[in-house]
Amino acid sequence: MLRVVDVNLTKKRSTNYTREEELLLVSQVAKFKNVIECKLTDKGNNQRKEYEEKQGVIKSENDPYTARNLEAASKKSGVSSNMKHGLYEKLIMLAEEEIKKNRLEQEEILIKRQRDNEKHDRENEEHRKRMELLDLEIEAKRRMLNN
């Protein structure tokens, strides 16, 4: 069976900029439409800019501008995945800290129990010795009475 292939199935090239991006660019350029300068030949302007840079003067026209709506979708998803990754790392770190804290608490409880058991054993041993002494004393008094 023959298949009919449409030659127009290839994806057509999209425009370089969206309408919003074009409007944003035009609005930024419109601020400076009366200024025409050539960076190679405009000696006075270059000297002024160099002087301002040395003095630390910041001009808004020289500041870089990056609008959030101009960022690529892939970059946004990359940023969000990086944020998720960072969040997961923080959650893992918090969980590990909680585990360490619980282990330390358990170790402290075990050490306290061990100390309490040792103290209880010593007290029982002392009590047993006192009882033996009392039994010996009672036995000695009985012998004295019988003689």
In-domain check, residue 109: no
In-domain check, residue 1: no
Q: Whole-angstrom Cα distance, residue 42 to residue 103?
A: 71
For residue 41, what are the domain limits? 17-70
In-domain check, residue 88: no
In-domain check, residue 96: no
User: Residue 14 carries which DSSP code?
Assistant: P
In-domain check, residue 22: yes
The number of distinct structural domains making up the chain is 1
Q: Whole-angstrom Cα distance, residue 40 to residue 46?
A: 9
pLDDT at residue number 69 = 46
Phi–psi pair at 145, nearest 5 degrees: -70, -35
In-domain check, residue 52: yes
In-domain check, residue 144: no
Q: Which residue has the higher pLDDT, 22 or 70?
A: 22
- Could you report the per-residue pLDDT of 42-63, keeping only the tens digit for each? 677 777 777 777 776 555 455 5
In-domain check, residue 47: yes
- Could you report the per-residue pLDDT of 137-147, keeping only the tens digit for each? 999 999 998 87
Put simply, whether the predicted model's pTM sits higher than 0.75 gets the answer no
**Entry field: residues in the chain:** 147
- Could you report the per-residue pLDDT of 94-133, keeping only the tens digit for each? 999 999 999 999 999 999 999 999 999 999 999 999 999 9
Cα dihedral 9, 14, 20, 22 sign? negative
Tokens of 131: 């009882």
Tokens of 9: 């199935």
